């Protein structure tokens, strides 16, 4: 079996094919999914970046309102979930400005 990309041979017979292929995939892979989760809404001690009101831990007056707050990637298109997060964020910001929270 020969796995090739353009003219470069990645692995062939006699090589540790599977392990070499895994290494190559790790080096050149790109995501075909929606980018999300880089500022996960989780408790800080679990690696979270924002709280349940989208406020960045340790930074006053900053909220993150996009797909990066998803702790897990939704199984479908993320657009509707982003809209829902944005609507909720708008409510949270309005409440904070009125002094409700």
To 10 degrees, the CA torsion angle through 41, 44, 46, 49? 40
Whether 34 is a known active-site residue: answer yes
- What is the greatest pairwise CA distance in the chain? 70
- Which of 20, 34, 63, 88 is catalytic? The answer is 34
Cβ–Cβ < 8 Å for 82, 69: no
Report the catalytic residues: 34
């Amino acid at each position: 079996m020969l796995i090739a990309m353009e003219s470069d041979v990645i692995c062939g017979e006699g090589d540790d094919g599977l392990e070499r292929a895994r290494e190559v995939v790790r080096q050149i892979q790109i995501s075909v999914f929606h980018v999300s989760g880089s500022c996960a809404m989780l408790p800080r001690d679990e690696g979270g970046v924002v709280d349940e009101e989208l406020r960045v831990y340790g930074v006053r007056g900053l909220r993150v309102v996009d797909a990066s707050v998803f702790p897990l990637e939704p199984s479908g298109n993320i657009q509707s979930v982003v809209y829902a997060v944005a609507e909720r964020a708008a409510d949270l910001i309005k409440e904070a400005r009125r002094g409700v929270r």
